[in-house]
A and B are shown apart, each in its own frame.
Chain A
Amino acid sequence: MSPSPAPVLSIRALGVTLAPDFAVVIDSLDMARGDVVVMDAPSGAGKSTALGLIAGAIAPDDHPDRAHSIAGQTITARTPRHRFFAPHQVGFVLQTSTLVPYLSVGENITLPLDVAGGVVERDWHSHLIGALGIAHLTDRKPAAISVGQRQRAAIARALLGRPALLMLDEPVSALDPANVGQVEHLVQVLAEDAASAVLLASHQAARGAFAQAQRMGFETRREGAKSISAFALARTDRPQALEAAL
């Protein structure tokens, strides 16, 4: 029997109230390296909020059963971000491929590693920018490249540290249809090369490279006057190897 993959993400009862009548909750989610999970709830359901909660970017509500850990690091309200958001732990591709406008594309790609004081793996760096087709753009400023190229740079930035968990928030929503399949395929292949677990929020993943990936369960339930968008990856949905690891 092969050894169980190490859990990279474990969540219970992680949620936030966004308005008196609306909350987003991740009831449960467990992922290991190599897992690919898609959140394909409809627009407005709270996918980005759920990713923000997972990334520790949004402060969660207190809940007695709340549990949250990334790559073995338990996250509480007091945990400094650099403890759980190092480039080897998490990579995050934002919906609009936000890059720092005054840094070159190359500097943007290495930014998380520079922040963490890490060393760039030259071969992996070359492989990434080569595969993404942006090797010739590294000296340019973000304003001087196209939206699609910016998105590829953002993907390179997220993957450069070979993160245990790669999160993508609608990474292809701003791309023209001709590029969507290609970029999704690149993400899939490069994440596999980096041995990252992939958590993708997308409302158009029913087709394309992630069509066959696991889906997070989604439901809207009511608690009194409050409408709750609830995400969960039921235990029965998870691979057996992960089940054993947890």
Chain B
Amino acid sequence: MSPRLPVHLALAELRHEWQAALCFVAALIGVLAPLMILLALKNGVIGALVEGLVEDPRNRQIIAMGAGKHSPTTLETLAAREDVAFAMPAPRSINTQADAVRNPDARGLERGVQLVPSRSGDPLIPQGAVARGGVFASQALATQLGLREGSRAQLVIEREIDGQVQRVRPEFEVLGVVPEALFEKPALFMDLSDLMDIERFRDDKTRTPQTWQASGPEPETYASFRLYVRALSDLGPVQDALAAQNIRTRPWAENAALLVGFQRALNILYAAIALVAVLGFWAAMSANLRAMVERQRISFSLLDLVGMVPRARALVPVVQSVVLVLGGIALTVVLVLPVLWGVNVAFGTPARPVIATLSLGDVAMFFGLGVLTACTACLWALRALSHISPDEVLRHA
């Protein structure tokens, strides 16, 4: 039998009993609207915080504690992990500082500038890569010294041998500027080879200010490394893996891990609230649909008497259930969206204009869950329907 007639019967009955249908939809809105607003707030407030954290690559950095002995192979293996976004060797932290940096083309000098080893793929330099002889300056240093792309930066590196200070002044081309949002302090990002030259100059007395940049063999081990994981949730597993190799580390942003945990807890809390609400709604809907079948008992018996097959009759409450639920969700969305707009207008700030938001995926999830709930909640009604026999309409007479 074509589904046209059962669908027509279902819709005609809803139209006829529009007040009961409206009450049903109102009850649905009563459950769904707070749930949607809660989800929107969760998305807006916590989502924005976590998004900010995730977007800032520094929060995905793991810092090695103390100096170690990390072989190039170990670091390559680390870099090859799927949860690692960037890993490279680094010299001892004591050697990652220039005594001073100046712009030879302008006045000004900055003392104690941090030197950061870098290479292609550095998450802090998304717009390019350092090269031997070329550096990226942090915005703070660039502003201080008037550096910009194409400028020259002169480093002052000192060492003291037998009470005598020796000094070299290598010059580097500034290839670009690292935005302050990614690195706040005055710093230069430079090729590892250049940084290793500086380390050798400081540590190796045999290297003179004239020969300090002579090439040497690759070190067998490195004292430290720069490491960024792909996602905040990767911080824990990667740290655990390093701890298993007796490498002590800490995340750059301790609060990132805390917030991720908070977000997880909030997700669980929301899921629990949603589950309880959905279960309550499911039970209420089951009872309503069951009552709807009772209301149409004689009509269903008559339909059976005139030969409507059970499958076609069963379609009537199913269609009614789906129509009511989808209608209820659509109306809830229509009612909730202005509320969210009002919340954002009232509580939003220029820095964070969105306090509450629902994505299309969230709305689609509500509709999907609604259809699932509608189809399962009518099982009781269908069971009752299967017990309605054609002789009831005779007895009714």
Contact = CB atoms under 8 A, between A and B. Distances in A.
A94 B306 CA distance: 12
B394 A115 contact: no
B308 A115 contact: yes
Interface string B6-26: 000100110111000000000
Interface in B288-317: 298-299, 302-309, 312
Given A85-B306, A86-B307, A112-B307, A94 B299 contact: no
Interface stretch (B32-40, B64-72, B354-362, B385-393): B385-393
A49 B397 CA distance: 11
B107 interface: no
Interface string A56-91: 111000000000000000000000111001110000
Nearest to A91: B306
Contacts of B335: none
Given A114-B5, A141-B16, A169-B397, A82 B389 contact: no
Chain A at the B interface: mostly helix, strand, loop or mixed?
A: loop
B210 interface: no
A95 B307 contact: no
Contacts, number: 80
A81 B298 contact: no
A44 interface: no
Contacts of A170: 397
A51 to B, nearest CB: 7
Contacts of A96: 396-397
A30 B144 CA distance: 113
Contacts of A55: 305, 390, 394
Nearest to B394: A52
A51 B299 CA distance: 19
Interface in B122-168: none
A18 to B, nearest CB: 11
A78 B16 CA distance: 35
A48 B305 CA distance: 14
Nearest to B397: A95
A51 B304 CA distance: 16
Interface stretch (A20-28, A100-108, A131-139): A100-108
Nearest to A173: B397
A86 B395 CA distance: 21
A98 interface: yes
Contacts of B206: none
Contact size range, A: 20 to 34
B306 A103 contact: no
A94 B393 contact: yes
B351 interface: no
A80 B390 CA distance: 12
Contact of A102 (B17, B306, B307): B17
A213 interface: no
A92 interface: yes
Contact of A48 (B307, B390, B397): B397
Contact of A115 (B5, B13, B390): B5
Contacts of A95: 397
B307 A92 contact: no
Contacts of A98: 298, 302, 393, 396-397
B5 A57 contact: no
A234 interface: no
B1 interface: yes
A94 B397 CA distance: 7
A31 interface: no
B391 A101 contact: no
B302 A102 contact: no
A117 interface: yes
A102 B302 CA distance: 13
Nearest to A97: B397
A41 interface: no
B245 interface: no
Interface in A101-126: 101-103, 107, 111-112, 114-117
Given A52-B391, A57-B394, A98-B298, A115 B303 contact: yes
A111 B17 contact: no
A101 B389 CA distance: 19
Contact of B302 (A51, A100, A107): A100
B2 interface: yes
Interface of A: 48-49, 51-52, 55-58, 80-82, 85-87, 92, 94-96, 98, 100-103, 107, 111-112, 114-117, 141, 169-170
Given A48-B397, A96-B397, 16 more contacts: A48-B394, A52-B394, A57-B389, A57-B393, A58-B391, A82-B307, A85-B305, A85-B306, A92-B306, A94-B397, A102-B12, A103-B9, A107-B12, A112-B306, A112-B307, A115-B307
10 contacts: A49-B394, A57-B393, A81-B390, A94-B393, A95-B397, A100-B9, A102-B13, A102-B299, A115-B308, A117-B2
